[in-house]
Structure 1
């Protein structure tokens, strides 16, 4: 990149200020902030929710860091063309779809003594080996297998050549700063460079790079490898599910033109203006929710020690989308085949 891109928060602000087909409702942001506030108040949600998911690792070890790195290197594009033809992973007697299918496939491989989290292994993994790891319980294979192979080769090679084969050595170079780690990731691992052009400016969305840091922070509860003194620099992780929830709650609203395109099921192109508007406005919408939540929490001394940032809001909304998917079936998502999310 010849032009240094704006960081995600600044990118979201710029995109929201010049967006033509996506608007943000401050009233909607306030309503969602109040909803999340009530959950926090009742201790129904916290950063600890990350490790409460059955398929996420529980141990705070070096091996867990490398598990998360492989996870987020492959954390993109799981949706199927038809709901009755989904990619599913059978793991310990249960079928898993979407992101959880990825988690299940990694865990299944490790149970089978396949060293999928070892850079020396996945830097040279063959397409047949990877296909076996991601074997489906249905006739529908995981999308973009060739891209996943490419990402693993790239990531493994970089780790071996620059970081002694482990992502913990990337973390050790960041001085406990999420901002420094974000720069290190996007500079050294090309597949994480989630950047687009918007109104003549290079804007970064950095979904996978940010969630990689956030997953480590959440898993390690802000300690050890997950200790970052500036974790609040991260924004939400702009994909297609969280925008759907934001649209469901009318925090972001679509123009009739965009709504018609979404309803048609047209496949979006990575970096096109409409896609960038949806993702950028989602980032800024969550920033408005965060600001309102901080105001609410400042008025309630019982929550003075509670961690609140854009990561927590994103996790909450993403979990909401999974728990209430039936309620949101009428809300269209922007369909896209992208390696960025």
Structure 2
């Protein structure tokens, strides 16, 4: 089945959106972002595998509990996405080798629970889904890419678009599609984050060079639109605003959710946010 690309999807959705609009007159500027201490500093093959594993598992960190999942690593605690990074880095210090597909394709429940052990009473959300995703990905790498994501990356010939397609073809957890007013649309948030992280880690060179990097868009998650709306860059309808203020859940794949995600991509693309996005392409707000 053919899907519109994330950018084409967003432009189409925003042309038809009923609940959200962009405000191109709103000034907003950020000049610099601090370097993160948990992401790889080396530009080697291990960094490729680190980016793949963290991208695989980069979903659903917040629960309805008042206590969040936290990871203690080198005397500091981390939450959200950074808790994932801290847990991966802690496992690299302690073992097992969480970056080796031969290891994680046969990962046991006990092993992964130890890797993701929390500093609080709250465990990492969707544990079973993470375990299955990790094991399936390890098997796929061993069967199709000689046991290394580096080989998958090489097969894409420095094309971001080809890498996005490969991720969706071989690793189902990266598929991020929706149906909007009769059109099949895509956002590919986590697949795009992987490409962006690779580009950032290697500074657009070597393993991180993509001749079509401009096809990567902003990442339509649940945090970025909150920031854009706060600064007035995207504006919600009265109905949508009321629903959010009342704490109503916006269903995954619903018209409202699709429009919010599309507005995020479109607003960044057509404004000065695009350069900011490329600079902090994988940093979580």
Place the TM-score, normalised by the shorter chain, in its bin: over 0.9
State how many pairs are aligned.
285
Look up the match of 1:327: none
C-alpha distance in 2, partners of 1:243/1:113?
37
SS at match of 2:72: strand
Q: Deviations over 1:53-109 (max 9, x none)?
A: 111111111111001100000001111324x41110011111100010000000001
Deviation at 1:270, TM superposition (A): 1.9
Note if 1:61 corresponds to 2:10.
Answer: no
- 1:333 maps to none
Residue of structure 1 in register with 2:253 after alignment: 271
Whichever structure has more helix as a proportion of its residues is 1
Cα deviation, residue 210, structure 1: 0.4
Residues 1:243 and 2:225 aligned together = yes
Q: Which residue of 1 aligns with 2:91?
A: 109
Aligned counterpart in structure 2 of residue 195 of structure 1, from 174, 177, 188: 177
CA RMSD, 1 decimal:
1.6
DSSP 3-state at the match of 1:90: strand
Match of 1:171 among 146, 149, 153: 153
- Matched-pair contact (CA < 8 Å) for 1:196–1:271: yes
Q: What secondary structure does 2:14 align onto?
A: helix
Residue of structure 2 in register with 1:136 after alignment: 118
CA contact (8 A) 2:58 2:81 kept: yes
| Deviation at residue 247 of structure 1 after TM alignment | 0.4
Counterpart for residue 21 of structure 2: 23
Q: CA deviation at 1:157?
A: 1.2
* Aligned counterparts of 1:223 and 1:18: Cα–Cα separation in 2: 38
Q: Which residue of 1 aligns with 2:56?
A: 73
**CA positional deviation for 1:288:** 1.3
Shift of 1:155: 1.1
What is the TM-score when the length of structure 1 is the normalising length? Answer: 0.80
Segments of structure 2 that go 5 or more residues without pairing to the other structure are none
Moved over 3 A (4+): none
Is the 8 Å Cα contact of residues 236 and 310 (structure 1) preserved in structure 2?
Answer: yes
CA distance, structure 2, for counterparts of residue 309 and residue 189 of structure 1:
29
Residue in structure 2 matched with residue 312 of structure 1 by the alignment:
279
CA distance in 2, matches of 1:6, 1:152: 28
Give ranges in structure 1 of 5+ residues lacking alignment. 294-307, 322-341
1:265 Cα offset (Å): 2.2
